[in-house]
Amino acid sequence: MKNMFIIIFIAILGISGCSQENKTVQATAGEQVTVELTKCIDGDTAKFTKVGTTRFLYIDTPESTRTIEPYGKEAAAYTCNLLKNANEIQLQYDGPKKDKYDRTLAWIWVDGKLLQREIIKKGYVEKFYDYGTYSYEAELRDLQANAQRQKVGLWSNKSGTTPKSTNNQIQKFANCTDLRKVYPNGVPQNHTAYEPKMDRDQDGFACER
């Protein structure tokens, strides 16, 4: 009889362990925090007051910092432009508030619009990181499918990373105002219009908004 109790106890522990290992996020978006931008890092990451480095929930944009992937710089420029020109930025939690790197996880609302939604519509999201069921998941997947059908952004079969001049000659602009008339979101370091003097924050991207 004692052996039978031991076997049952071990079985219960095993079931409990499996349930913890396979646990997924069943989230309901709720608490919102009004913050201010302190630094825009790339297409899906930024730093804000109160919460520090924040990874945008659910979306994954191409890399644009240590490595440069197609449309990485475009995604970063688009995101940073919206954040830097926002009148109000709010973060909305949806499940766990931190990832394993201690970054805040949140939906980002910019002047009442969900930033993740806007980035997807531009075609700058290459995939989703899906650890469970998030509140806006179904809608964002529909938007992604629509962006793919319309062949926008990285779905356009173009190589990305901001158009260059066709003859590869250096392009000269008097200042960022003039440059943005041709390249509204600025240009990366490998672009023929890039000049260090226009890259004031020395992030390898000139005249970004």
- Beta-bridge partner residues of 132: 25
- Beta-bridge partner residues of 107: 92
Burial 93-124 (b: 16+ CB within 10 A, else e): bbbeeeeeeebbbbbbbbeeebbbbbbbbbbb
Q: Tell me which of 21, 31, 36, 63 is the catalytic residue.
A: 63
| 63 has catalytic annotation | yes
Candidates 155, 102, 105, 92; CA nearest to 131 is: 105
| 74 has catalytic annotation | no
Q: Tell me which of 21, 31, 36, 55 is the catalytic residue.
A: 55
Q: Tell me which of 69, 103, 137, 141 is the catalytic residue.
A: 103
Q: Both ends of the chain: CA-CA distance in Å?
A: 73
Q: Are 47 and 103 in contact (CB under 8 A)?
A: no
| 55 has catalytic annotation | yes
Residue numbers annotated as active site: 55, 63, 103
